[in-house]
Amino acid sequence: MSMEQPVPDPGLQFDSAVDVGLGVAYLADDEFRRMSGSKRAWLEFRRNRFALVGAAFMIFITFMGVFAPIVATHDPYAQSLRKRMKPPSAEHWLGTDEVGRDFYSRLVYGARVSLFVGIVGTAAGVTLGTIVGLISGFFGGWTDTLIMRVIDIMYSFPGIVLAIVMVAALGPSLFNLILVLVFFAIPTLARIVRGNILSLKELDYAEAARAMGAGRLRIMFHHLLPNTLAPIIVYATLAVAGSILVTASLGFLGLGVQPPQAEWGNILSNGRQYLRKAPMLMVYPGALIFLTVMSINLIGDALRDALDPYLQS
Amino acid sequence: MRQYIVKRLLLSIPTILGAITLLWFLMQLAPGDPALMFVPPDFQGEEAEAYLAKVNELYGFNDPLPVQYLRYMRNTLQFDFGTSLRTMRPVSEDLLRRIPNSLRLGVSAFMVSTAMGIALGVLAAIKRGTWVDSALMVFALVGVSMPNFWFAYVLILLFGLYLRILPPSGLGGLKHMILPTIVLGYTSAGYLTRYVRSSMLEVINHDYVRTARAKGVAERNVLIKHVLRNGLLPVVNVLGINVAFILAGSVIIETLFAWPGVGLYLIDGVVGRDFPVVQGAGLLIATSVVLVNLLTDVMLVYVDPRIRYE
């Protein structure tokens, strides 16, 4: 065990080999062995009922976000003096907020922002983090040392703190928020990919490719990257959950998406002023954030278990 | 071993210097002239210009950036973080006054989450595959997935407003600490529980555990002497990560409960665009993380005799 090696996020630990294969006990052994890896993984994943519930919820939320203009019953920004703080009714399914906006429609539009920001930010961050990790692990030497030192520095600002400090400098805006999420994903992905590459590049097939005259880029992207895809997929999924939490936290602190634009974090932050009068203005957006993050975590956990055979290399 | 510790110690120096540099660099990116903050709002036209020039002169904002950077680095290394742009008080004094508050909350949250995480993780591993295991894993997952600020408000709503048995916010006696401690402790215990469980499971299947059982060691002793001792070793490392979690969480929880600690100070600084405050509080948090990681690495050397360092 090298002490240079980072400790991965404890929540993201890959379970021991015990778990592998239990799920497909009903299949004949060689039938299972003959399947392609992704088919095997899908079987494992499908068996996990929690994950299916999570996936169903995510499909539901994504649908709400994408089709917000159709799904919403009102304009989420239309205020009405006469309809402030109304309880739920046939017209306003979840009632109205302190300036008479339809609360249900605001939550629907909020899904849009939270998911968009979380997915775009994570996708960019995962891509960059993977490239950085690939370079660091493959080239080693001073390149590796330098990159890992920078990653260490980023890691010294835990979670939301780096995001807060960045927003302090750049100012709150949608673009800056995505930028913050990119930097949120880079360090973890870079470390994970680097660790995998370090062990993979010593294996025979990488050596063979090198012997046959494959170029560095070809070995990196054609031989090494596909074999480290499993952990990347798992961590990317979990990073989306983390990004949604960061987005909501920044929105809650008033440093994220700015009102009046609806975002779950800032809707919740707004609702806390009316904790006594209308606690649901705080409870609902928070519950949505919670359920969304939990669903993604469930999917991530199931993916981890399903892809586990790959990770035992 | 001593060599390893010294090397590890030296390696954390560039990280801290890097953190200082990163903070300085980020604050340079900030749009707007920080010196404008000093100009009293009733100063107009030339009067304001003259005042601005004086401020720039006094704080060295006119100097070339490398000069400013080196001066900032020198001051920071001497624990001089400058003065707050809003209150004009030295940032280091403010921080010193707030550290005990943050420590009080952070240490109690750390104890709650560590006790919870280890106990529940071990229990889940022992009861693996049963409903106890499933229930504990759901409990941990909820802790990991719940936005801490939402959980805090749900508790405030429940205990502060409906049941009226706990104060909703502020600094005070033990009663004021209960809600923030529960929120911080529980939301960081989830990760620890999951980690402890998988770490224990890894050990439970080792040959020496089977041997111990086979030779007739009582199950109790197998668990305590063979599984627990080895399974909890990696946990030392995670405790460092747990500290980082709690530090990050405390920024939000302190703000929410109006708890006058370093986290609230950081947020006040960000909201007020008070850059010396942001730099000082950010650096304090970063340095704590680096030092705690250093500590856990060194601890691990003593705890785990299998680790050899060159």
Closest-CA residue to B34 (of B68, B76, B71, B75): B68
Residues 217-276 of B with CB under 8 A from A: 234, 237-238, 240-242, 244-245, 247-248, 251-252, 255, 266-267, 269-271, 273, 275
Q: Average pLDDT for residues B73-91, to the nearest whole number?
A: 90
pLDDT, one tens digit per residue, over B160-188 is: 888 877 777 777 677 888 899 999 999 99
Q: Average pLDDT for residues B179-202, to the nearest whole number?
A: 91
Q: Taking CA atoms, what residue in B is nearest to A274?
A: B157
Here the tokens at position A13 are 């630990």
Beta bridge partners of B90: B83
Q: Nearest by CB to A275, which of B153, B237, B270?
A: B153
Q: Taking CA atoms, what residue in A is nearest to B245?
A: A158
What are the Cα distances from residue B252, in Å, to A181, A237, B42, B117, B269?
18, 24, 35, 21, 14
pLDDT above 90 (res A149)? yes
Peptide bond between residue A260 and the one before it cis (omega within 30 degrees of 0): yes
Q: How confident is the model at residue B309 (pLDDT cuts 50, 70, 90)?
A: low
pLDDT, one tens digit per residue, over B202-228 is: 888 788 888 888 888 888 888 887 888
Here the tokens at position A106 are 């605001």
Q: Taking CA atoms, what residue in A is nearest to B278?
A: A165
C-alpha dihedral, A125 to A127 to A133 to A134, nearest 10°: -170
Other CB atoms within 10 Å distance of the CB of residue B81: 22
pLDDT above 80 (res B238)? yes
pLDDT above 90 (res A67)? yes
Contacts of A177 (CB under 8 A, 6+ apart): A117, A121, A167, A247, A250, A256, A257
- Best mutation target, B144, B232, B242, to test chain A (most A CBs within 10 A): B144
Residues 86-125 of B with CB under 8 A from A: none
pLDDT above 80 (res A166)? yes
A24-38, A74-88, A119-133, B38-52: least confidently modelled range: A24-38
**Between A and B, how many residue pairs show a Cβ–Cβ distance under 8 A?**
169
Phi/psi zone of residue A113: left (φ > 0), alpha (ψ -120 to 50 degrees), beta? alpha
Predicted local confidence at residue B55, as pLDDT: 77
- Best mutation target, B164, B270, B301, B307, to test chain A (most A CBs within 10 A): B270
Predicted local confidence at residue A43, as pLDDT: 77
Predicted local confidence at residue A29, as pLDDT: 57
What pTM, to 2 d.p., does this model score?
0.87
Please tell me the distance from the alpha carbon of residue A215 to that of residue A60, in angstroms, as a whole number. 45
**First and final C-alpha spacing in chain A:** 16
> What angle, 0 to 180 degrees and rounded to 10, lies between the N-to-C axes of helices A49-66 and A280-311?
130
pLDDT above 50 (res A259)? yes
- The proportion of chain B whose per-residue pLDDT surpasses 70, expressed as a percent, equals 96
Residues A110/A285, Cβ–Cβ less than 8 Å: yes
pLDDT above 80 (res B154)? yes
pLDDT above 90 (res A286)? yes
pLDDT, one tens digit per residue, over A15-32 is: 433 344 444 444 555 666
Q: Nearest by CB to A253, which of B15, B190, B267?
A: B267
Interchain pair B147, A252: CB under 8 A = yes
Q: Average pLDDT for residues B140-148, to the nearest whole number?
A: 94
pLDDT above 90 (res A296)? yes
Predicted local confidence at residue A14, as pLDDT: 40
Predicted local confidence at residue A23, as pLDDT: 41
Distance from CA of B238 to the nearest CA of A (A): 7
Predicted local confidence at residue B282, as pLDDT: 95
- Best mutation target, A114, A142, A157, to test chain B (most B CBs within 10 A): A157
Distance from CA of B295 to the nearest CA of A (A): 13
Half-sphere exposure of A86 (CA within 13 A, CB side): 21
Other CB atoms within 10 Å distance of the CB of residue B9: 12
Q: How confident is the model at residue A60 (pLDDT cuts 50, 70, 90)?
A: very high
What are the Cα distances from residue A156, in Å, to A51, B133, B138, B152, B173?
33, 33, 30, 26, 32
Phi/psi zone of residue B63: left (φ > 0), alpha (ψ -120 to 50 degrees), beta? beta
Interchain pair A153, B153: CB under 8 A = no
pLDDT, one tens digit per residue, over A167-177 is: 988 888 899 99
Distance from CA of A216 to the nearest CA of B (A): 30
A136-140, A198-202, B304-308: least confidently modelled range: B304-308
Predicted local confidence at residue A312, as pLDDT: 41
Interchain pair A161, B252: CB under 8 A = no
Please, is B131 exposed, middle or buried when counting C-beta atoms within 10 Å of its C-beta (0-12, 13-18, 19+)? exposed
* 3-class DSSP assignment, residue A161: helix
Residues of B in contact with A294 (CB under 8 A): 141-142, 145-146
**First and final C-alpha spacing in chain B:** 8
pLDDT above 80 (res A44)? no
Q: How confident is the model at residue B108 (pLDDT cuts 50, 70, 90)?
A: very high
Q: Taking CA atoms, what residue in A is nearest to B304?
A: A1
pLDDT above 80 (res B268)? yes
Please tell me the distance from the alpha carbon of residue A237 to that of residue A249, in angstroms, as a whole number. 19
B48-57, B136-145, B241-250: least confidently modelled range: B48-57
What are the residue ranges of helices labelled H in A140-228? Answer: 141-155, 160-170, 174-200, 204-211, 216-218, 225-227
Beta bridge partners of B83: B90
Interchain pair B285, A248: CB under 8 A = no
DSSP string of A17-76, one letter each residue: GGGTTGGGTTS-HHHHHHS-HHHHHHHHHHH-HHHHHHHHHHHHHHHHHHTHHHH-SS-T
Q: How confident is the model at residue A212 (pLDDT cuts 50, 70, 90)?
A: confident
Here the tokens at position B67 are 């000069």
Residues A271/A97, Cβ–Cβ less than 8 Å: yes
pLDDT above 70 (res A57)? yes
How big is the CA angle at B168 (ends B165 and B173), to the nearest 5 degrees?
75
What are the Cα distances from residue B98, in Å, to A162, A163, A183, B84, B304?
20, 22, 29, 15, 36
A202 DSSP assignment:
T
Q: How confident is the model at residue B310 (pLDDT cuts 50, 70, 90)?
A: very low
Predicted local confidence at residue A2, as pLDDT: 35
- The proportion of chain B whose per-residue pLDDT surpasses 90, expressed as a percent, equals 48
Predicted local confidence at residue B14, as pLDDT: 93
Residues 199-228 of B with CB under 8 A from A: 199, 201-202, 205
Of B20 and A209, the structure prediction assigns the larger pLDDT to: B20
Contacts of A217 (CB under 8 A, 6+ apart): none
Q: How confident is the model at residue B119 (pLDDT cuts 50, 70, 90)?
A: very high
What are the Cα distances from residue A46, in Å, to A16, A49, A54, A305?
20, 7, 12, 11
Please tell me the distance from the alpha carbon of residue A80 to that of residue A96, in angstroms, as a whole number. 9
Tell me the average pLDDT of chain B: 87
DSSP string of A206-262, one letter each residue: HHHHHHTT--HHHIIIIIIHHHTHHHHHHHHHHHHHHHHHHHHHHHHHTSSSPTTS-
